[in-house]
Amino acid sequence: MSSSLEGRLATLSITPIEDKTDDGSVVEIKHYFFKPKPAASSNSAIKLLVVLAEVSKDIGKATALAKQLGYKDLRAADDGQVKDVLGVPKSQASLLSIQADHSQFIHLVASSTLQTAHCVSFPNEKHSTEQDLDEITGKTVVLKGTDAKRFAESRECAEFSEVEFAERGEPQPAAPKAAAAPTAVKEPKAQQGKARTAEEEEIHELGIHAKKLEDFPGWYQQVLIKGDMIDYYSVSGCYILKPWSYGIWEVIQRWFDDQIKLLGCSNCSFPLFVSQRVLEKEKDHIEGFAPEVAWVTRAGSTDLEEPIAIRPTSETVMYPYYAKWIRSHRDLPLKLNQWNSVVRWEFKTPQPFLRTREFLWQEGHTAHLTKSEADEEVTDILDLYRRVYEELLAVPVIPGIKTEKEKFAGGLYTTTVEGFIPASGRGIQGGTSHCLGQNFSKMFNIVVQDPSAKEGQELPPIHVWQNSWGLSTRTIGVMVMVHGDDKGLVMPPRVAQLQVIVLGVGITVKTDAEMRQKINDKCKEVVKQLRAAGIKAQVDDRDTHTPGFKFADWELRGVPLRLEIGPKDLASGSAFSARRDTGVKAPIPFDSLVKDVSALLDQIQSDMFTRAKKTFDERVIFLTEWKDFVPTLNKGCICAVPWCDVEACEDAIKKKSAEETAEAVVDERAPSAGAKSLCIPFDKKRFTDKPASEYKCVKCGQQAKHITLFGRSY
């Protein structure tokens, strides 16, 4: 029955499309192979399930697909199982390799949108059969979507189904619908059997299945999704901030907003859009952002006369107006801030909160008469950033200055608070406060007359000194990474949306109605007392769940303190408390409940910071010899080293550390990136009492200028 692919296509009057593989309109097809376990009612002759879907589609969980197609179970088929049916291993098998001599063992499942695609491509390593292996392996075959569907139908597999798959990153439909099957093709029984109850599903789905120290990326993803912080979104690199995380941002906003208003800042709103000409006014600056700028080129069905950019940051958006508004030194300082979102269309792998294509932040933009005034504000703001991390999020940071290489594009110097993620051993930039110097004011002609000019004296105009500073929702991601554990989130009390969860416990079938009522009433009373004192408390009186489930649920969501109230607690006149951060349990007398809970929340906040600080301190290693550098990185630490301040040397450190890492690495999962400079800490005595100049640069051996932090980073 062997026949060439060309022959098989020709039978159906299908002509492959040539030279279209670089065209964006060609949709690539991915194949999935499953070994089905048939349900009683199903076709038990089927040995292999072949699923065809666009690479952009998420075929969902095997269990859901099995249910939908009427199987008891589906398991990924191994090479042997695929070869048994198709005659070739998985790597060479595709729709195009299905032939009549084995099609009776195959259930072919195609994405329902396949036929609406203009062209689909079958990847080059696939679609071989033993018979025509040499003939077509290595070629990418491109067919019209309709032809692909026709070809699939023509394979006369035992069963053929079309299924509506969701786009990757978008929620799976609650009950995916099988699309209408083509006539004369058998439709397997789908949608049968009862779905799990919501409750069963919830219990099944509740826990985090990845360990923080074993699979940190998997853990991070699960803790954010299951902890109710975010959801994935159908536009790649964008995420939904659910109230549980957005509320943290609201706490940060209100605190920081109050602080900057005390510094004389006002809020305002500049447009989302910026014209190309204005965006590109400052050369160094735009070079830093150009590859990530998103462009609007069309409105409705009308092409815009010129494309308009979405702001990646607002320097060039705002400063033409600063030039207009600042007419005299009496208009200085000008201190404006915005709470908005910006778009940086990065092509690197996105990470919720850490690297996203749209993110929320505040951006402050100020103008000053003198450099010293600008300098002072840069550090004032940086200290507020430090306090957001340390006082609100209980996350320690190291304030310092960025190297020339790492500073803000177009600015004079950049200060930063650098955080550290122990689980990955990587540094992370927490927030930056830039002094822009006079570069932008010269570019945008923001000048005032020199107020020191005497009557009649003409002095050259002064270009104002500018700062810009920004703090984003990245803060939330850092907080999660630092504090979370294998049970889920751990929220610092000051930013937690819910600080105390109160539950009734110890209720059994034997508990009488009166006692149930008493427990219920006491829970409510406690919540009322706590709320009256400004503590965010809530009672969990769901009668659909066991206390055990509820404990796990609130631990997953990171609520700092749990209070249990049962018959014994009522008898002893106390609630039984459990700390989320340490797991420590202790009774709290009802008499002093509000005072004690309030003190305990403060203690938790402070303990969380102290523990995180201790870890950070232990993981920043001062070293002076290059031989210790990569081994220190490989221990999950960051390095404080004497360094010469020369950019070429910074590049060499990155390159060399990457190379040495690659040599040393046995464990594939270990990070392979080289070390970047993180900052030159302001605290010069933190690592050594001697001045840096008494050391040689760790890399090049020249006289060191500064003790500088280097590390792998986000």
| Residues between 498 and 557 with contacts to a second copy, criterion CB under 8 A | 542, 544
Min dist. Cβ of residue 428 to a second copy (A): 21
Residue 193 touching a second copy (CB under 8 A): no
Under DSSP, the state recorded for 556 is H
> CB-wise, 92 or 362, nearer to a second copy?
362
Question: How far, in Å, CA of 165 to CA of 60, rounded?
Answer: 8
Going along 115-178, which residue ranges are E strands?
119-122, 141-144, 159-163, 166-167
Min dist. Cβ of residue 520 to a second copy (A): 18
Residues 6+ apart with CB under 8 A from 116: 145
Number of Cβ within a 10 Å radius of residue 25: 8
Q: By the 8 A CB rule, do 427 and 419 touch?
A: yes
Min dist. Cβ of residue 301 to a second copy (A): 7
Min dist. Cβ of residue 307 to a second copy (A): 7
> CB-wise, 20 or 242, nearer to a second copy?
242
SS3 at position 414: strand
Contacts to a second copy from residues 640-699, by CB under 8 A: none
Question: How far, in Å, CA of 685 to CA of 656, rounded?
Answer: 28
> CB-wise, 160 or 239, nearer to a second copy?
239
Strands 57-58 and 26-38: unpaired
Min dist. Cβ of residue 189 to a second copy (A): 19
Residue 258 touching a second copy (CB under 8 A): no
Residue 321 touching a second copy (CB under 8 A): yes
Stretch that binds a second copy, among 235-243, 387-395, 482-490, 628-636 (CB under 8 A): 235-243
Stretch that binds a second copy, among 78-86, 270-278, 613-621, 672-680 (CB under 8 A): 270-278
Residue 239 touching a second copy (CB under 8 A): yes
Min dist. Cβ of residue 446 to a second copy (A): 9
Q: Which of 77, 65, 71 is nearest to 35 (CA)?
A: 77
Min dist. Cβ of residue 116 to a second copy (A): 11
- Could you give the C-alpha distances from 620 to 209, 614, 633, 711, in angstroms and in order? 30, 10, 10, 9
For a second copy, the binding residue among 208, 323, 480, 530 (CB under 8 A) is: 323
Q: Which of 228, 99, 107, 229 is nearest to 162 (CA)?
A: 107
Under DSSP, the state recorded for 353 is T
Per-residue contact track with a second copy, 103 to 122, x per CB under 8 A? --------------------
Stretch that binds a second copy, among 12-20, 62-70, 93-101, 307-315 (CB under 8 A): 307-315
Residue 495 touching a second copy (CB under 8 A): no
Residue 167 touching a second copy (CB under 8 A): yes
For a second copy, the binding residue among 40, 184, 262, 299 (CB under 8 A) is: 299
Q: Residue count at the site for a second copy (CB under 8 A)?
A: 78
Question: How far, in Å, CA of 59 to CA of 168, rounded?
Answer: 8
> CB-wise, 360 or 630, nearer to a second copy?
360
For a second copy, the binding residue among 4, 124, 192, 266 (CB under 8 A) is: 266
Residue 327 touching a second copy (CB under 8 A): yes
SS3 at position 151: helix
> CB-wise, 44 or 297, nearer to a second copy?
297
Min dist. Cβ of residue 212 to a second copy (A): 26
Question: How far, in Å, CA of 394 to CA of 602, rounded?
Answer: 11
Under DSSP, the state recorded for 485 is B
For a second copy, the binding residue among 290, 584, 648, 664 (CB under 8 A) is: 290
Q: By the 8 A CB rule, do 133 and 88 touch?
A: yes
Residue 170 touching a second copy (CB under 8 A): yes
> CB-wise, 241 or 575, nearer to a second copy?
241
Residue 452 touching a second copy (CB under 8 A): no
Contacts to a second copy from residues 339-398, by CB under 8 A: 340-341, 343, 345, 347, 357-358, 360
> CB-wise, 323 or 397, nearer to a second copy?
323
Question: How far, in Å, CA of 155 to CA of 52, rounded?
Answer: 13
For a second copy, the binding residue among 7, 89, 138, 173 (CB under 8 A) is: 173
Question: How far, in Å, CA of 94 to CA of 28, rounded?
Answer: 12
One-letter identity of residue 605: Q
Torsional sign, CA 606, 607, 610, 615: negative
Q: By the 8 A CB rule, do 48 and 85 touch?
A: yes
Residues 6+ apart with CB under 8 A from 298: 304
Residue 202 touching a second copy (CB under 8 A): yes
Min dist. Cβ of residue 9 to a second copy (A): 27
> CB-wise, 501 or 704, nearer to a second copy?
501
Which residues pair with residue 415 across a beta bridge? 401, 433
Contacts to a second copy from residues 22-51, by CB under 8 A: 24
> CB-wise, 56 or 702, nearer to a second copy?
56
> CB-wise, 543 or 689, nearer to a second copy?
543
One-letter identity of residue 523: C
For a second copy, the binding residue among 62, 158, 294, 670 (CB under 8 A) is: 294
- φ, ψ at 677 (rounded to 5°): -70, 135
Strands 106-111 and 159-163: parallel
Q: By the 8 A CB rule, do 399 and 381 touch?
A: no
Min dist. Cβ of residue 364 to a second copy (A): 13
Question: How far, in Å, CA of 349 to CA of 106, rounded?
Answer: 36
> CB-wise, 243 or 583, nearer to a second copy?
243
Min dist. Cβ of residue 246 to a second copy (A): 5
> CB-wise, 181 or 447, nearer to a second copy?
447
Stretch that binds a second copy, among 83-91, 244-252, 692-700, 705-713 (CB under 8 A): 244-252
Q: By the 8 A CB rule, do 224 and 244 touch?
A: no
Residue 305 touching a second copy (CB under 8 A): yes
Min dist. Cβ of residue 541 to a second copy (A): 12
Contacts to a second copy from residues 453-492, by CB under 8 A: none
Q: By the 8 A CB rule, do 536 and 602 touch?
A: no
Min dist. Cβ of residue 235 to a second copy (A): 5
Query: Which tokens in the block code for residue 672?
Result: 């392979």
Q: By the 8 A CB rule, do 576 and 533 touch?
A: no
Residue 130 touching a second copy (CB under 8 A): no
Query: Which tokens in the block code for residue 310?
Result: 């979405």
Torsional sign, CA 683, 688, 689, 693: negative
Find the angle CA(671)-CA(429)-CA(169) to the nearest 5 degrees. Answer: 65
Q: 3-state SS of 557-620?
A: CCCCEEEEECHHHHHHCEEEEEECCCCCEEEEEHHHHHHHHHHHHHHHHHHHHHHHHHHHHHHE
Question: How far, in Å, CA of 709 to CA of 677, rounded?
Answer: 6
Min dist. Cβ of residue 672 to a second copy (A): 26
Residue 186 touching a second copy (CB under 8 A): no
